[in-house]
Each structure stands twice: as structure tokens, then as C-alpha cells.
Amino acid sequence: MTVKIFSNHKDIDENELAGASHVLCVLTPDQATAPLDEVLQSRLDRRGIERAELNKSPLTADLPSGGKASWVVVDPKKTAFDHLTALRKALQPLLEENPATLTVLLSGATSERRMMAEATVYVALLNAAELPSRKSKQDKPRLTRLVLYGCPEDVDFTFARAVAEGNTLARTLTMLPPNELTPAIYRRRIGTLAARHGWQYEEYDLKALRKLGAGAFVAVAQGSDPEDAAIVHLSYSPKKATKTVALVGKGICFDTGGHNLKPARYMHGMHEDMNGSAVCLGILLAASRSKLPIRIDGWLALAQNHISPRAYKQNDVVKALNGTTIEVVHTDAEGRMVLADTLTLASRGKPDLVIDFATLTGSMAVALGDRMSGVIGNRPALVCQAVEVGRRAGERLCAFPFEADYDEALESKIADIKQCTLDSEADHILAARFLSKFIEHDVPWLHIDLSSSNCKGGLGAVSSDVNGFGVSWGVHWLRNMMGKVPPHADLAKL
């Protein structure tokens, strides 16, 4: 997509503006007049509302030329999530018509226009992206050109483009039908991405994992035919990297629940259970595009949880890669099983930090709904920092406790630890306590339970239900590690 910049309103090309089919007007609070003011006032009068109502929600109206315009107020006192949500809602009726060109008019102080220019480009790129669809008729054309008036000339859209590309990759993979993304197909796709972007690629198939003694992962994967599960290891290693982060992603391509078979209502959508691995790939891609000087190791646990005569069962006892014996309590708690051995592999490299992403527990969704995700970790300061970075990035996290006495619920009479309990109480905390047992060398670790990976009607910057939550947070986290101030920081008053 090309972006054409006019640095101030005096440079407005009246002929181009008169012929613009889709226009977004980004306003400041209490702005006396607005671009296309007559059209705006006429729309307000017809609806019988005051101009102050724009501070609450965007407004869209048809233009005399036959096009459409949206007006949105961006309040510097509000958070990044509020800004991105307002821009998404204002852009949505324009992008639904699949315009080839979008014209954006920015108002306010230079710092505000700089931040809003980047945010607007980011939201537009996200929501104009082509996502998987198998409908016979496709809507064309798609947005190919953005024209920005009032945009400072020094704005660099590299970061916005990179994060949007990473988020789009995560959503694309997550939305693919399960017959188009088996572990074998997924591995080939990842191999193609690695070759394209210069990532090192290594994989541990089931034969190798059995030899290593990764019994927790193998227990889940052995119920599938063919046995195409694997742990994939990717490395992005820039020459000037001074820090290393390991990203671990749950990649269950389809989850039946195993012998504890899910009812139809809860099995529907289980092709999205690989979302954590897709988020890791999205972060890796965005970091590569941004050329962040930090080494990233991606560890993706790719498998399916099927039911078969070979599938693992309740009361089985298996031995994990680190030697811990696990009593299986519920076969639908497969995510923590595949992550256990993957976390051990990731932590053995002694990175500065391990972060895992997983659509892991229903109890986190019960606790938070689908508008926020949860974070738990073994360093309280890191957990607090994760919440703050989420506020800056517009992808909100809520912290949960990590107290040792929760381990009492996981005590087993026949093994070192229970996989889970049969009660749903605090399962998101118990899952984190379980996973922590497989982190070696006391490596700092954050666990992101992606309860908001699918939010009906969209969330924050993204209008699709599958929203790629975690990609923006992850890249902002990496920038934060390098001492760089993330976008939106000024507007969020941080």
C-alpha cells in the first residue's frame, strides 16, 4: 500500500479532495470546525444530536459527490486502546465499501498528528488486509493507497507496517480451516516463512521427541494419524543482538478433547487452538521487518488432540522431558502437556526471558471475558511491566497471582504432579503453576493466556473476530527491552 503525505492543511489538493470517495476526518476534542463541516453539521442536524456527541462515538455520512466520510474525535487523555478502537469504528464503514483510495485529514498539535498518523495507517492496514475466505464471490478491489493531510513529514511508518503484517499473518493462520492447516501443512508453511525471512529452522518430530524423552508432548500427539506433530524451533539472529527472548506458542491445530470429548458447541472453532503459535510467528515477522536488534527463538508446539485407540487416557502417568512424572487427569488439558516439554527446550538455552502464548484455559475466559487476556509469571516486576506495555500497545492484559500454595491442588498420589484438577476453579492459575515446573535454570518467564484471541465484532484496532491479540503487545515488549518508547506513549500520557 502506498502512503502519500501532505504535511499541513495548506497543502490540501482541493481537486483531489473534491474527488475523494472515502474520507476520514480525525478531530481533537472541542474542535470548533471540522473538515467537510457543512456535511457534518447537516448529518448532526438530521440525527438531532450535538457536536459534543462526536467525543463518544464516530459519525459517518454520505458525501454530495456520492462518497462517504467519517469523523472521529481522538482525545489525548484517553488510552491507546481507546484511540485504536475509535479509529477502527470510524474506518470500518469506509473500508466495508472496499475503496481503492482512502483520504485522511488530521487535526491537532504536531505530536498528536504524528501519533494519529501512525495509528491510522496501522488500523487501516490491519482492516484492509485480505484474510482467508472460501466464498465463491470475493469483494474487490482492496485498499491500495492512503492520502494523509496534516501528517508531519518525519513520520516513519516502518513499525506500523511491520506490526500490521505480523498481526495479519497471525490472523490468517488462525482462520484457516483445519483441513488446510494440519501439523504437516503448518510445518511446510513455517519452513517457507523461514526461508523467505532468513530464520534458522529446526524441528523435532515424534521420533526425535520419543528419543529425547519428551513424554508429555508425545502423550498428546500419539492419538493422531498420521503422526505429523513436531516442535519447531525458529531463530532470528541479527548480528548486533545483545539480548535473547524465547517465544513459545501452543499450536494445537485441532482439539477434539481426546477421550474427554468436547460437545459440539465447544468443539466448534477448535481449529483456532493453534493461535498462540501464530502469535509467535507474527511477532517474529514484525521484529524481522522492524530489524529489531534482539535474538528471538521461536518454539512452536504443533500437534492435534485426537481420539483413537492410541490416544492418552485419564490416569495415565507419563514422564516429561525434564524427568517430572505427570498424572493425566483430563485429556482436554492437552495444551499444558505440549507446552511443558516445549518450555523445557526453550529454557535450556538460558534466554533472558521466556514468553509463552496459548489459548489455554476456559477459566481465564470466564474471569475476563473476551476483551482482555491474562498474564502470569515468575517475576512480579515483569508481570507489572507486561500490563503496562499492554496499556501502551492497546492490547490489554490483566495480572493474576502466582502463589506457591496453589500447588496443593496439583499434588498426586502416584506421580510428581497432576496435570490439572477436575474442578474448573482457578484453572488458569493452576495451569501456570503446572507450566512453571518445566522451566529450567530459573529463567524469567511470562505466560499469556489468550482469552481475547477471538472477540465478536472486533477488539481494539482490529475489526475481525479473530484479532491477532498479542502480536502488537509482543513487538512493543521487544522495543521496550531495547529502551525504545513505543508508539502511542505520548497520547496515553505515560
Q: Which residues sit opposite 377 in a β-bridge?
A: 446
Active-site residue, from 78, 262, 319, 379: 262
The DSSP element (H or E) to which 345 belongs, if any, is helix 334-348
Residue 240: is it exposed, middle or buried by C-beta count within 10 angstroms (0-12/13-18/19+)?
A: exposed
CA–CA gap between residue 378 and residue 371 (Å, rounded): 24
- Grid coordinates representing 140 are 474487490
How far is residue 123 from each of residues 73, 157, 208, measured CA to CA in Å? 15, 12, 43
Angle between helices 275-290 and 183-197 (to 10 degrees): 10
Q: Which of 459, 303, 448, 310 is nearest to 370 (CA)?
A: 459
From the CB of residue 81, how many other CB atoms can be counted at a distance below 10 Å? Answer: 22
Mean pLDDT for back-to-back runs of 10 residues, the chain (494 residues): 70 65 92 87 91 91 91 93 97 94 91 92 96 84 88 92 98 98 98 98 98 98 97 96 96 98 96 98 97 97 97 98 98 98 98 98 97 98 97 97 98 98 94 98 98 98 98 96 55 34
Question: Strand pairing partners for 232?
Answer: 203, 300
Tell me, yes or no, if 336 is annotated catalytic: yes
Q: Is 262 an active-site residue? A: yes
Name the pairing type of β-strands 230-236 and 295-305. antiparallel
Identified catalytic residue from 68, 187, 289, 336: 336
107's grid cell? 487535526
What's the pLDDT at 13?
56
- Judge residue 490's burial from the number of C-beta atoms within 10 Å of its C-beta, 0-12 exposed, 13-18 middle, 19 or more buried: middle
For residue 260, the Cα-to-chain-centroid distance in whole angstroms is 29
The pLDDT score that the predictor gives to residue 486 is 44
3-state secondary structure of 441: coil
What is the three-class DSSP state of 296?
strand
Between the two ends of the chain, the Cα-to-Cα distance in Å is 31
Q: How far is CA 360 from the centre of its chain?
A: 14
Instruction: Delineate the domains of the chain, giving CATH numbers in brackets.
Output: 2-155 (3.40.220.10), 162-481 (3.40.630.10)
**Per-residue pLDDT, 467:** 98
E-strand spans in 107-206? 145-149, 200-205
Q: What is the pTM of this model?
A: 0.95
